[in-house]
Amino acid sequence: MSMRIILLVTSPRLPAGLLTAEAWDALRAFPVFAGAESPQAEALRVSGVPVTVLHTDAQGLLDAIAGQPAAVWLAGPDGDQDFARQLGLRLAREPALAELELMYGSWDPAGARLLDAVTVMDRLVSPGGDPWKREQTHQTLAPYLLEESYEAYDAIESGDLEALREELGDVLLQVVLHARLAEEQPDGHGWTIDDVAGGLVEKMVRRNPHVFAGEQVADIEEITANWERIKRAEKERDSVLDGIALSQPALALAAKILQRVQRAGLDVALPHGDDLGAGLLRLVADARAAGLDPETELRRAALDFADAVRAAENVGPPE
């Protein structure tokens, strides 16, 4: 039986030493080698597993483990791709030397690249990073948050999922940057991206008792009613209109106000008169009564008119 060389690959985004049972069995049973010192190697030593660092090539490893039934090579953060390729080519030419086995000791958890985004942003905003980002404030960044959100909305409207993936990344950039800047607030008023994520998790669990607390619901309407009830209890608002984003476009703002009034069961008369604002508000109310979203309907009409304008100019649609 030929010797086994186990190439152990681990996730750099998990704590060192957090490995599968299979990986631990191999590490405790066979000699362990690595190409350089690392947190993983140190964690193994603390757990009683000796790790020998070899600054060598594939032949050097083969020489070091000669006579052993098996050995583990602890891959570095980059997976030691060049070393693994060199070793694989050598064993392909001389398969009798050893069998190469790839073993995953840990995997990146879902959302692991979000940690990378936080790390990169920290580097950009820290001293020696990007001067432009270091000079920004929540106020100066506010227009970009709106712009990126609108671009993501455009991607949704166009049905372009690849564009949506990119645009959501730009929205996420704004979230991560705002959170990093918030860390710089003085007098203990700062907060971090973990505070943002933690608040979101707590809110999702709290407002979805049918998922996390075993509450029985009959339909979507009851789920929505529960959400609104829990939200009211959390916010302790004085008015049904509290919490509405007043900076949103006027048409969407009008529709949101009318929605809140309807949900609350309030009987408030619409304004009468011939002025344009009152007339537009009545049109928004008519649209909602017909089950239509006035913002979407006006957007569609405006885009259709824009196409007609370009056709009259013999100009193609924007790229």
First to last CA, the chain: 63
pTM, two decimal places: 0.73
Q: Tokens at residue 13, please?
A: 């985004």
Q: How confident is the model at residue 80 (pLDDT cuts 50, 70, 90)?
A: low
- The SS3 of residue 315 is coil
Over residues 182-191, the mean pLDDT reads 87
Radius of gyration of the chain (CA): 30
> What confidence category does residue 8 fall into, taking pLDDT thresholds of 50, 70 and 90?
very high
Judged by DSSP in three states, 52 sits in strand
- Residue 1: the pLDDT is 54
Share of the chain above pLDDT 70, in %: 97
Report in angstroms the alpha-carbon separations of 196 from 185, 199, 203, 302: 15, 5, 11, 37
Q: How confident is the model at residue 36 (pLDDT cuts 50, 70, 90)?
A: confident
Q: With 80 as the cut, is the pLDDT of residue 79 above it?
A: no
Mean of per-residue pLDDT scores for the chain: 90
Q: For residue 98, how many other CB atoms are within 10 A of its CB?
A: 21
How many degrees, rounded to 5, is the angle at CA 74 between CA 68 and CA 76?
A: 150
Q: What is the pLDDT of residues 290-300, one digit of tens each?
A: 999 998 899 89
The hierarchical CATH code for the domain 3-104 is: 3.40.1010.10
Tell the burial category of 19 from Cβ atoms under 10 Å away from its Cβ (0-12, 13-18, 19+).
buried
State the maximum Cα–Cα separation within the chain, in Å, rounded to a whole number: 96
Position 316 pLDDT exceeds 70 = no
How far CA 84 is from CA of 35, 58, 274, in Å, comes to: 11, 8, 78
| pLDDT on residue 191 | 95
Q: Are 98 and 5 in contact (CB under 8 A)?
A: yes
Q: Are 227 and 251 in contact (CB under 8 A)?
A: no
- The alpha helices in the chain, defined as continuous H runs, are 21-29, 39-46, 58-64, 81-93, 112-125, 131-135, 138-158, 161-182, 193-207, 209-212, 220-235, 250-264, 276-289, 294-313
Q: Using CA atoms, how far apart are residues 11 and 254, in angstroms rounded to an integer?
A: 50
User: Cα–Cα distance between 155 and 168 in angstroms, integer?
Assistant: 10
Domain boundaries, the chain: 3-104, 239-319
84-128 residue pLDDT tens: 788 888 888 888 888 889 999 999 999 999 999 999 999 999 999
